Structure 1
Amino acid sequence: MTPRERAEKSAAALWAGDRASAWVGMQITAIDEGSATLALRIREDHCNGHGIGHGGVTFLLADSAFAFACNSRNQATVAQHNSITYLAPVRLGDTLTATAREVALSGRSGITDVTITNQDGKVIAEFRGTSRAIGGSLFEESP
Protein backbone atom coordinates (compact mmCIF):
# COMPACT_ATOMS: atom_id res chain seq x y z
CA MET A 1 0.00 0.00 0.00
CA THR A 2 1.42 3.40 -0.94
CA PRO A 3 1.51 6.24 1.60
CA ARG A 4 -1.26 8.04 -0.34
CA GLU A 5 -3.45 4.93 -0.40
CA ARG A 6 -2.92 4.52 3.36
CA ALA A 7 -3.82 8.18 3.89
CA GLU A 8 -6.98 7.84 1.79
CA LYS A 9 -8.05 4.68 3.62
CA SER A 10 -7.26 6.30 6.99
CA ALA A 11 -9.33 9.36 6.04
CA ALA A 12 -12.29 7.19 5.00
CA ALA A 13 -12.15 5.30 8.30
CA LEU A 14 -11.86 8.50 10.36
CA TRP A 15 -14.61 10.25 8.37
CA ALA A 16 -16.99 7.33 8.97
CA GLY A 17 -17.03 8.16 12.68
CA ASP A 18 -16.59 11.94 12.48
CA ARG A 19 -20.08 13.30 13.08
CA ALA A 20 -18.93 16.88 13.85
CA SER A 21 -17.15 17.56 10.55
CA ALA A 22 -20.05 16.19 8.52
CA TRP A 23 -22.64 18.00 10.68
CA VAL A 24 -21.06 21.39 10.09
CA GLY A 25 -20.79 20.70 6.33
CA MET A 26 -17.09 20.06 5.70
CA GLN A 27 -15.69 18.19 2.73
CA ILE A 28 -12.29 16.56 2.36
CA THR A 29 -10.78 17.86 -0.87
CA ALA A 30 -7.26 16.38 -0.65
CA ILE A 31 -5.41 13.87 1.52
CA ASP A 32 -1.89 12.49 1.58
CA GLU A 33 0.61 11.34 4.18
CA GLY A 34 1.01 14.19 6.66
CA SER A 35 -1.35 16.54 4.86
CA ALA A 36 -5.05 17.19 4.37
CA THR A 37 -7.26 19.86 2.86
CA LEU A 38 -10.86 20.43 3.92
CA ALA A 39 -13.40 22.98 2.70
CA LEU A 40 -16.48 24.56 4.25
CA ARG A 41 -19.04 27.02 2.90
CA ILE A 42 -20.16 29.44 5.63
CA ARG A 43 -23.90 29.28 6.32
CA GLU A 44 -26.12 31.50 8.48
CA ASP A 45 -25.89 29.05 11.35
CA HIS A 46 -22.08 29.42 11.29
CA CYS A 47 -22.31 33.16 12.04
CA ASN A 48 -22.12 34.87 15.43
CA GLY A 49 -23.98 37.87 16.87
CA HIS A 50 -21.82 40.26 14.86
CA GLY A 51 -22.99 38.64 11.63
CA ILE A 52 -19.55 37.22 10.84
CA GLY A 53 -18.29 33.65 10.92
CA HIS A 54 -17.98 32.30 14.44
CA GLY A 55 -14.36 31.73 15.45
CA GLY A 56 -15.29 28.33 16.80
CA VAL A 57 -16.41 27.23 13.34
CA THR A 58 -13.10 28.36 11.83
CA PHE A 59 -11.26 26.53 14.62
CA LEU A 60 -13.38 23.41 14.03
CA LEU A 61 -12.43 23.42 10.34
CA ALA A 62 -8.73 23.82 11.15
CA ASP A 63 -8.88 21.16 13.87
CA SER A 64 -10.52 18.69 11.49
CA ALA A 65 -7.89 19.27 8.78
CA PHE A 66 -5.25 18.81 11.50
CA ALA A 67 -6.88 15.52 12.58
CA PHE A 68 -6.99 14.07 9.06
CA ALA A 69 -3.34 15.00 8.46
CA CYS A 70 -2.22 13.56 11.83
CA ASN A 71 -4.08 10.28 11.32
CA SER A 72 -2.93 9.78 7.72
CA ARG A 73 -0.46 7.01 8.62
CA ASN A 74 -3.18 4.78 10.13
CA GLN A 75 -1.94 5.47 13.65
CA ALA A 76 -4.61 6.67 16.07
CA THR A 77 -3.54 10.23 16.92
CA VAL A 78 -5.14 12.99 19.00
CA ALA A 79 -4.45 16.64 19.77
CA GLN A 80 -2.19 17.60 22.69
CA HIS A 81 -2.44 21.35 22.19
CA ASN A 82 -3.84 23.61 19.48
CA SER A 83 -3.78 27.37 18.98
CA ILE A 84 -5.18 29.69 16.36
CA THR A 85 -4.58 33.27 15.30
CA TYR A 86 -7.47 34.96 13.48
CA LEU A 87 -6.30 37.42 10.83
CA ALA A 88 -9.45 38.42 8.93
CA PRO A 89 -13.21 38.09 9.39
CA VAL A 90 -15.23 35.32 7.78
CA ARG A 91 -18.37 36.39 5.89
CA LEU A 92 -21.63 34.60 5.22
CA GLY A 93 -21.26 32.72 1.93
CA ASP A 94 -17.46 32.48 2.12
CA THR A 95 -15.89 29.17 1.23
CA LEU A 96 -13.05 28.42 3.60
CA THR A 97 -10.23 26.03 2.83
CA ALA A 98 -8.05 24.58 5.59
CA THR A 99 -4.74 23.20 4.37
CA ALA A 100 -2.89 21.11 6.96
CA ARG A 101 0.75 20.13 6.61
CA GLU A 102 2.90 18.24 9.04
CA VAL A 103 6.05 20.20 9.91
CA ALA A 104 7.63 17.84 12.45
CA LEU A 105 7.20 14.25 13.61
CA SER A 106 9.34 12.69 16.32
CA GLY A 107 8.33 9.41 17.91
CA ARG A 108 4.70 9.73 18.99
CA SER A 109 4.61 13.57 18.89
CA GLY A 110 4.05 15.84 15.93
CA ILE A 111 3.50 19.45 14.92
CA THR A 112 1.07 20.35 12.15
CA ASP A 113 0.35 23.81 10.75
CA VAL A 114 -2.98 24.68 9.14
CA THR A 115 -3.63 27.73 6.98
CA ILE A 116 -7.26 28.77 6.51
CA THR A 117 -8.03 30.83 3.42
CA ASN A 118 -11.22 32.13 1.82
CA GLN A 119 -12.34 31.73 -1.80
CA ASP A 120 -10.15 34.69 -2.83
CA GLY A 121 -7.02 33.13 -1.32
CA LYS A 122 -6.97 35.61 1.57
CA VAL A 123 -5.50 34.11 4.75
CA ILE A 124 -8.21 34.07 7.41
CA ALA A 125 -6.33 32.29 10.20
CA GLU A 126 -3.21 30.34 11.07
CA PHE A 127 -3.47 27.29 13.34
CA ARG A 128 -0.74 25.19 14.93
CA GLY A 129 -1.46 21.85 16.50
CA THR A 130 0.64 19.39 18.42
CA SER A 131 -0.37 15.77 18.28
CA ARG A 132 0.25 12.54 20.12
CA ALA A 133 -0.12 9.02 18.75
CA ILE A 134 -2.09 7.01 21.29
CA GLY A 135 -1.70 3.48 19.91
CA GLY A 136 -4.02 1.53 17.72
CA SER A 137 -5.04 2.03 14.13
CA LEU A 138 -8.02 3.28 12.14
CA PHE A 139 -8.30 0.18 9.96
CA GLU A 140 -6.67 -3.24 9.82
CA GLU A 141 -3.75 -3.57 7.46
CA SER A 142 -2.55 -6.91 6.21
CA PRO A 143 1.13 -7.59 6.94
Structure 2
Amino acid sequence: MDWTAPEVFNTGFNRLLGIELVECRKGAATVRMRVTDACKNPAGIVHGGALFSLADTAGANAAVCCGTQVVTVESAIKYLRPAGDTQYLTAKAREVKRGRQISFYEVCIDADDGREIARVSLTYCLSGPHAQ
Protein backbone atom coordinates (compact mmCIF):
# COMPACT_ATOMS: atom_id res chain seq x y z
CA MET A 1 0.00 0.00 0.00
CA ASP A 2 1.24 3.51 -0.81
CA TRP A 3 0.76 5.30 2.52
CA THR A 4 1.39 8.69 0.90
CA ALA A 5 -1.21 8.29 -1.86
CA PRO A 6 -3.95 10.93 -1.49
CA GLU A 7 -6.69 8.31 -1.09
CA VAL A 8 -4.77 6.82 1.87
CA PHE A 9 -3.21 9.96 3.39
CA ASN A 10 -6.38 12.09 3.29
CA THR A 11 -8.42 9.84 5.57
CA GLY A 12 -9.20 9.49 9.26
CA PHE A 13 -7.20 11.59 11.69
CA ASN A 14 -5.30 13.50 8.99
CA ARG A 15 -8.59 14.64 7.46
CA LEU A 16 -10.02 15.49 10.89
CA LEU A 17 -7.07 17.80 11.62
CA GLY A 18 -6.83 19.10 8.06
CA ILE A 19 -3.25 17.89 7.62
CA GLU A 20 -2.00 18.04 4.02
CA LEU A 21 0.99 16.24 2.53
CA VAL A 22 3.24 18.82 0.83
CA GLU A 23 6.28 16.69 -0.03
CA CYS A 24 7.52 13.19 0.65
CA ARG A 25 10.81 11.65 -0.40
CA LYS A 26 13.14 9.07 1.09
CA GLY A 27 14.00 10.18 4.62
CA ALA A 28 12.13 13.49 4.52
CA ALA A 29 8.57 14.78 4.47
CA THR A 30 6.74 18.07 4.79
CA VAL A 31 3.13 18.38 5.95
CA ARG A 32 1.03 21.39 6.83
CA MET A 33 -2.11 22.14 8.77
CA ARG A 34 -4.45 25.09 8.47
CA VAL A 35 -4.96 26.70 11.89
CA THR A 36 -8.65 26.79 12.76
CA ASP A 37 -10.57 27.38 15.98
CA ALA A 38 -11.08 23.61 16.20
CA CYS A 39 -7.36 23.04 16.86
CA LYS A 40 -7.00 25.85 19.44
CA ASN A 41 -7.26 25.58 23.20
CA PRO A 42 -9.40 27.94 25.35
CA ALA A 43 -6.49 30.43 25.46
CA GLY A 44 -6.71 30.81 21.66
CA ILE A 45 -3.43 29.08 20.84
CA VAL A 46 -2.92 25.83 18.96
CA HIS A 47 -3.34 22.85 21.29
CA GLY A 48 -0.14 20.94 22.04
CA GLY A 49 -1.78 17.70 20.95
CA ALA A 50 -2.49 19.15 17.52
CA LEU A 51 1.16 20.24 17.22
CA PHE A 52 2.36 16.78 18.23
CA SER A 53 -0.01 15.10 15.76
CA LEU A 54 1.31 17.31 12.96
CA ALA A 55 4.91 16.40 13.85
CA ASP A 56 4.16 12.68 14.14
CA THR A 57 2.45 12.73 10.76
CA ALA A 58 5.50 14.38 9.17
CA GLY A 59 7.93 11.92 10.77
CA ALA A 60 5.88 8.86 9.91
CA ASN A 61 5.54 9.95 6.28
CA ALA A 62 9.29 10.48 6.00
CA ALA A 63 9.65 6.84 7.08
CA VAL A 64 6.84 5.32 4.99
CA CYS A 65 8.14 6.88 1.77
CA CYS A 66 10.49 3.89 1.70
CA GLY A 67 7.52 1.48 1.63
CA THR A 68 7.71 0.65 5.33
CA GLN A 69 4.96 0.71 7.93
CA VAL A 70 5.84 2.42 11.21
CA VAL A 71 4.66 2.66 14.79
CA THR A 72 5.78 5.47 17.09
CA VAL A 73 7.66 4.05 20.07
CA GLU A 74 9.07 7.21 21.64
CA SER A 75 8.76 10.97 21.25
CA ALA A 76 9.91 14.19 22.87
CA ILE A 77 8.51 17.59 22.02
CA LYS A 78 9.86 21.01 22.91
CA TYR A 79 7.24 23.76 22.68
CA LEU A 80 9.23 26.89 21.85
CA ARG A 81 6.49 29.51 21.49
CA PRO A 82 2.70 29.64 21.21
CA ALA A 83 1.04 29.40 17.81
CA GLY A 84 -2.14 31.38 17.61
CA ASP A 85 -1.69 34.14 15.08
CA THR A 86 -0.70 32.06 12.08
CA GLN A 87 -2.80 30.75 9.23
CA TYR A 88 -0.78 27.56 8.62
CA LEU A 89 1.73 25.43 10.50
CA THR A 90 4.32 23.48 8.52
CA ALA A 91 6.18 20.44 9.86
CA LYS A 92 9.38 19.32 8.16
CA ALA A 93 10.78 15.91 9.08
CA ARG A 94 14.23 14.58 8.34
CA GLU A 95 15.72 11.19 9.00
CA VAL A 96 18.55 11.18 11.55
CA LYS A 97 19.35 7.45 11.41
CA ARG A 98 17.61 4.46 9.89
CA GLY A 99 18.26 1.03 11.31
CA ARG A 100 16.84 -2.37 10.41
CA GLN A 101 14.01 -2.14 12.94
CA ILE A 102 14.26 1.33 14.54
CA SER A 103 14.58 4.75 12.90
CA PHE A 104 15.05 8.25 14.32
CA TYR A 105 13.61 11.51 12.99
CA GLU A 106 13.72 15.20 13.86
CA VAL A 107 10.81 17.49 13.05
CA CYS A 108 10.61 21.29 13.10
CA ILE A 109 7.22 22.99 13.16
CA ASP A 110 7.15 26.55 11.82
CA ALA A 111 4.49 29.25 11.60
CA ASP A 112 3.82 30.78 8.20
CA ASP A 113 6.06 33.75 9.11
CA GLY A 114 9.02 31.40 9.68
CA ARG A 115 8.98 31.40 13.50
CA GLU A 116 9.85 28.00 14.93
CA ILE A 117 6.98 26.82 17.13
CA ALA A 118 8.17 23.37 18.24
CA ARG A 119 10.93 20.83 17.74
CA VAL A 120 10.21 17.11 18.00
CA SER A 121 12.35 13.95 18.21
CA LEU A 122 10.61 10.74 17.15
CA THR A 123 11.58 7.07 17.23
CA TYR A 124 9.71 4.59 15.05
CA CYS A 125 9.60 0.81 14.96
CA LEU A 126 9.68 -0.33 11.34
CA SER A 127 7.54 -3.18 10.05
CA GLY A 128 6.44 -4.54 6.72
CA PRO A 129 8.35 -5.89 3.74
CA HIS A 130 11.01 -3.13 3.59
CA ALA A 131 11.82 -3.02 7.31
CA GLN A 132 14.87 -5.25 7.22
* TM-score, normalised with respect to structure 1: 0.83
Tell me the distance in 2 between the aligned counterparts of 1:36 and 1:120: 20
**Tell me, which stretches of 5 or more residues in structure 1 are unaligned?**
1-8, 138-143
Larger proportion of helix: 1
Partners of 2:86 and 2:111 within 8 A in 1: no
Tell me the alpha carbon deviations over residues 36-72 of structure 1, each in whole angstroms, 9 at most, x when there is no partner: 0001111011110111111111111001101111111
Identity %: 30
Counterpart code for 2:19: M
SS at 1:121 equivalent = coil
Q: Which ranges of 4 or more aligned residues in structure 1 deviate by more than 6 Å?
A: none
Larger proportion of strand: 2
Partners of 2:9 and 2:21 within 8 A in 1: no
**Tell me, which stretches of 5 or more residues in structure 2 are unaligned?**
none
* 2:9 maps to which of 10, 15, 19: 15
Q: Which has the larger radius of gyration?
A: 1
* 1:1-143 equivalences in 2 (<5 Å): 9-12=2-5, 14-15=8-9, 18-136=11-129
Tell me the distance in 2 between the aligned counterparts of 1:92 and 1:25: 17
* TM-score, normalised with respect to structure 2: 0.89
Tell me the distance in 2 between the aligned counterparts of 1:33 and 1:64: 15
The RMSD of aligned alpha carbons is: 1.6
